[in-house]
Amino acid sequence: MRIAVCVKQIPDPATPYDLDPDTHRVVRPNDQVLDDTDRFGVEVGLQLAEGDDGSVTLFSMSPSGSLQGIRQALAMGADKAVIIDDETLAGSDALTTSRVLAAAIEREGFDLVVAGTESTDGSSGVVPQQIAELLEVPSLTFARKVDVADGVARVEQQTAGGYDVAEAPLPALLSVTSGVVEPRYPTFKGIMQAKKKPIDTLTAADLGFSPEQVGDAGAGQKITSVTSVPAREAGEIVEDDGEAYLKIVALLEQAKVI
């Protein structure tokens, strides 16, 4: 089984994000990290591949920079990575990102695509569904449990009030939540092997896209303004000395809810 896993390198969420005042884009430092939610997709891909003598290929559209996030996913055990890195892609919206990723996945060939449900630094949370539609395959999304057997993918999907069991024949796409599996930590051996694993770098043109179709030019949306929202006034922060709960009781009284 050929498994494609979509991953994203993002600015470290522990550091404050900066917006470029001209483009309104998040400033992307050279050293980006693997989006934590993607480790779950990688782990699902690895487990499914292990049970089936399959392969795991990572797909990512990003300025490659240091590639430390991609190396981390390779160190977990993925076989190779395909990076689409091209200046013309800067400013691409979610749909363009999906088109580029879908084209790269199709070029490589696949039986199953695995993605997280949404990236930590994005907002739309629709890239997996867009990729599935472009690849003309079913999408089993928000999966909290995953199984593939006899050419059929079967998942437990989160719903508002519980969960559904859904299934679809391969080829298919799965989007997985951050609870589906326990991602492995790279071993020393894995880290050493990752340095030798192939990373293919493609341009938008390699995938048949012209500069007008991607990036700012190809986006169907543009940011027209960014304004600061007034911040809440800072409150009182106290270290618990065993009696801090009394402060909460006092505040609840003051708020007249008890």
Partner 1 sequence: MTTWVFSEEIDGHASASALELLTKARTFGDVAVFHIGPGSDGAFAELGAHGATNVYHLAIGDRLPSAPAAGALATLAEEHDAELIMFGMGNTDRDVAGRLSARIGKPVLGNAVEVAVDGRVKVTSEILGGTEAVVTEATGAAPALVLVRSKAFPAEPLTDSVPNVTLVSMPDIGHAGSAVITESHVEDSEGPDLEVAGIVVAGGRGVGSAEKWAVVEDLASQLEAAVGATRAVIDAGWVPSRLQIGQTGKTVKPDVYISAGVSGAMQHLVGMKDSGTIIAINKDAEAPIFAVADLGIVGDLHAVVPKLTEALKAR
Number of residues near partner 1 (by CB under 8 A): 83
**Site map for partner 1, 15-34, x if CB under 8 A?**
--x-x----x----------
**DSSP assignment letter at 17:** -
242 near partner 1, rule: CB under 8 A: yes
Q: Among residue numbers 103 through 132, which ones bind partner 1 (CB under 8 A)?
A: 118, 120, 123-132
* Helix 94-108 vs helix 127-135: crossing angle, to nearest 10: 50
162 versus 189: smaller Cβ distance to partner 1? 162
User: Residues of 97-125 as b/e, b for ≥16 C-beta within 10 angstroms?
Assistant: bbbbbbbbbeebebbbbbbbbbbeeeeee
In angstroms, give the least distance from the CB of 160 to partner 1: 5
| Stretch binding partner 1 (CB under 8 A), from 41-49, 76-84, 152-160, 193-201 | 152-160
195: its two tokens: 């340095």
| Stretch binding partner 1 (CB under 8 A), from 50-58, 64-72, 136-144, 200-208 | 136-144
Q: What gap in Å lies between CA 81 and CA 104, rounded to an integer?
A: 11
| Stretch binding partner 1 (CB under 8 A), from 52-60, 69-77, 133-141, 186-194 | 133-141
255 near partner 1, rule: CB under 8 A: yes
Query: 187 near 73, Cβ under 8 Å?
Result: no
In angstroms, give the least distance from the CB of 214 to partner 1: 13
75 versus 174: smaller Cβ distance to partner 1? 174
35 versus 70: smaller Cβ distance to partner 1? 35
Q: What gap in Å lies between CA 28 and CA 24, rounded to an integer?
A: 12
Q: Pick one of 80, 144, 184, 197: the residue that binds partner 1 (CB under 8 A).
A: 144
Q: Among residue numbers 28 through 87, which ones bind partner 1 (CB under 8 A)?
A: none
198 versus 222: smaller Cβ distance to partner 1? 222
CB neighbours of 192 closer than 8 A, spacing ≥ 6? Answer: none
Q: What gap in Å lies between CA 119 and CA 130, rounded to an integer?
A: 14
Phi-psi category of residue 255: left, alpha or beta, with phi > 0 → left and psi -120 to 50 → alpha: alpha
| Stretch binding partner 1 (CB under 8 A), from 2-10, 56-64, 71-79, 154-162 | 154-162
140 near partner 1, rule: CB under 8 A: yes
SS3 state at 103: helix
**Site map for partner 1, 159-198, x if CB under 8 A?**
xxxxxxxxxxx-xx----xxxx------------------
Q: What gap in Å lies between CA 239 and CA 98, rounded to an integer?
A: 46
